[in-house]
Structure 1
Amino acid sequence: MIDTGLRWFAATLCIAGLTHISAVLLAPSHSRDLAFTGIAFGGGEGGLARVDGSNTSADLDPAFLNAVCRFDAETGPVRLTGVMPGTYWSIAAMSDDGRILSTLSREDLRGTDLDLLVGRTATLDAARQSAGIASVDVMSLPADSGFVLVRLFAGGLDDRSLAEEAFEGLQCRPALAN
């Protein structure tokens, strides 16, 4: 009887251990799917929504200000415009499931004025021609929908005021809108 009870106890411990190990190993692959689910995309002025600890479960660096805007095949490419500060900033296009599709930083673009078309590769040329914009930087993506994450460094007091000022002027609108 003790032998049978000990076997059941050992079997239960093994099953519990395997379940725990599986959960720990699978959690990171599912967490990116949920990191940006609480954000109301495009709810802010200019199509950008500010991202902080209140509307995301992503572990964001507090030294950066973050904002997102949505792109999809229905509305076509988005045009991200604004004057960026001289501090570090980056732009990442992400798929709906949280995979990074493409990134750009201050060093990748010319000057401090940001004028960027973001969207599916096939639709970017048509959007440029119909909007009459030839000299615009582009971020060609292999996905029909997702979001653009803009991050500005705001570590010091001076940097934070510059970053907040730049955030106020950022616009993210459909490329074909007036």
Structure 2
Amino acid sequence: MIDTGLRWFAAIFCIAGLTHIGAVLLAPGQSRDLAFTGVDTSGTDGRLARVDNSNTAADLDPAFLNAVCRFDSDSGPMRLTGAMPASYWSIAAMADDGRILSTLSREDLRGSDIDLLVGRTAALDAARQAAGIDSIETMSLPVDTGFVLVRLFAGDLDDRSRAEEAFDRLQCRPALPD
């Protein structure tokens, strides 16, 4: 009798353990990282929407300034322009489900000014030809919609307000005028 009870206990314990391990291993692949996708970008009028701990679920480093800008194939490629301080900054294009599609940093671009087209390859080529801009950096993406996350390190700057002003002057507009 004890032998049968011990076998049942071991079998249930193994099934429970395998179920737990399977759930732990499969859960990240089944869930989406929506930390930045809930940020309201409406009404920004060509500016990036600032992201802080009040409007995102992400655990953000307070030494960085963060902002997002939506891109959508319906409005064509998006153009991100502005001058950045000499400290570290990075740009990440992300799909709506939170996957990182492409990244750039200050070291990848020439100088500290940003002039970047973001969108699908065919749309980027058409926008460059229509606007007559051949020598502009591009970020070709495999999706129609998503957002661009811009991060600026402002932790060691003497005047953080200078960094915030530069960050607020960044513009995110459709590359082709309506």
Give your verdict on TM over 0.5.
Answer: yes
Which residue does 1:14 correspond to in 2?
14
Contact 1:153 1:160 in 2 (8 A): no
CA distance in structure 2 between the partners assigned to 1:86 and 1:44 by the alignment: 25
CA distance in structure 2 between the partners assigned to 1:84 and 1:37 by the alignment: 24
CA distance in structure 2 between the partners assigned to 1:37 and 1:147 by the alignment: 8
Contact 1:44 1:50 in 2 (8 A): no
CA distance in structure 1 between the partners assigned to 2:131 and 2:144 by the alignment: 20
Distance 1:78 1:19, change over 3 A: same
Contact 2:47 2:168 in 1 (8 A): no
Which residue does 2:41 correspond to in 1?
41
Contact 2:117 2:137 in 1 (8 A): yes
Distance 1:68 1:14, change over 3 A: same
TM-score, normalised with respect to structure 1: 0.85
CA distance in structure 1 between the partners assigned to 2:41 and 2:18 by the alignment: 39
Kindly state the Cα deviation for residue 31 of structure 1 after the two structures are TM-superposed. Answer: 4.8
Which residue does 1:152 correspond to in 2?
152
Distance 1:17 1:151, change over 3 A: same
Question: Number of residue pairs matched?
Answer: 178
CA distance in structure 2 between the partners assigned to 1:122 and 1:45 by the alignment: 26
Q: State the superposition RMSD in angstroms.
A: 2.3
CA distance in structure 1 between the partners assigned to 2:58 and 2:43 by the alignment: 19
CA distance in structure 2 between the partners assigned to 1:107 and 1:159 by the alignment: 23
CA distance in structure 2 between the partners assigned to 1:173 and 1:103 by the alignment: 19
More off after superposition, 22-31 vs 124-133: 22-31
Q: What one-letter code is carried by the residue in structure 2 that aligns with 1:46?
A: G
Which residue does 2:163 correspond to in 1?
163
Which residue does 1:98 correspond to in 2?
98
Which residues of structure 1 form unaligned runs of 5+?
Answer: none
Which residues of structure 2 form unaligned runs of 5+?
Answer: none
Kindly state the Cα deviation for residue 35 of structure 1 after the two structures are TM-superposed. Answer: 2.8
More helix, by proportion: 1
Contact 2:69 2:149 in 1 (8 A): yes
Which residue does 1:69 correspond to in 2?
69
CA distance in structure 2 between the partners assigned to 1:43 and 1:114 by the alignment: 22
Which residue does 1:86 correspond to in 2?
86
TM-score, normalised with respect to structure 2: 0.85
Kindly state the Cα deviation for residue 129 of structure 1 after the two structures are TM-superposed. Answer: 2.1
Report the secondary structure of 2:46's partner residue. helix
